[in-house]
Structure 1
């Protein structure tokens, strides 16, 4: 039996006014040469989505940064290196997920770095 299942993938950052303005400004001055994206998604401690869906940080967080990279810089890159680990929420390690992901992407004429975490630490003085 064949089933038709519809899904929706929302890359909503492309439609955010702030990100659209950045795209507009970049197109005025030239090409992106270096891009760094940092996204912090407050996890829910040791019991979170990562315990239910292994690799979920890539599917529900990192994917949005990767979409912005393609939108701002282009596709395909020359090389991509990705690293992930459960550095703070140790239970994620046993579930096959990460709380921290670092990605470096090399283009012919641009370098990209993505840093994603499921925890947030900030110090301001």
Structure 2
């Protein structure tokens, strides 16, 4: 450590709650897994439709209450494939928000994009969907 640097910063505690609202969760669900922010700017009509679609799904399946987000009765009526797909997107969006909030990680990428660029390979038996 250089003499003029001072002591290292104290790490932030990871147990802080993440406040989640509908707009942030939609942003997280759309941004997670994209290689770069510019990806979101391509095909603006498609992206606008994606934002509207995800916001509509969240509005139908998740209630944002004072106690935090909770699944709705409409979510309970989904079949298992629909629940799995929606839950995956919500989970990835929440992972992005938590990473940004607690760890100050600005962007999450899907492992498939790392493999395509020559990055680390995943364990045997795991492969990207095509």
Q: Report TM bin, short chain.
A: under 0.3
Q: Which has the higher strand share?
A: 1
Q: Which has the higher helix share?
A: 2
Give the structure with higher Rg (CA). Answer: 2
Structure number with greater CO (CA < 8 Å, separation at least 6) is: 2
Instruction: Provide the TM-score with structure 2 as the length reference.
Output: 0.24
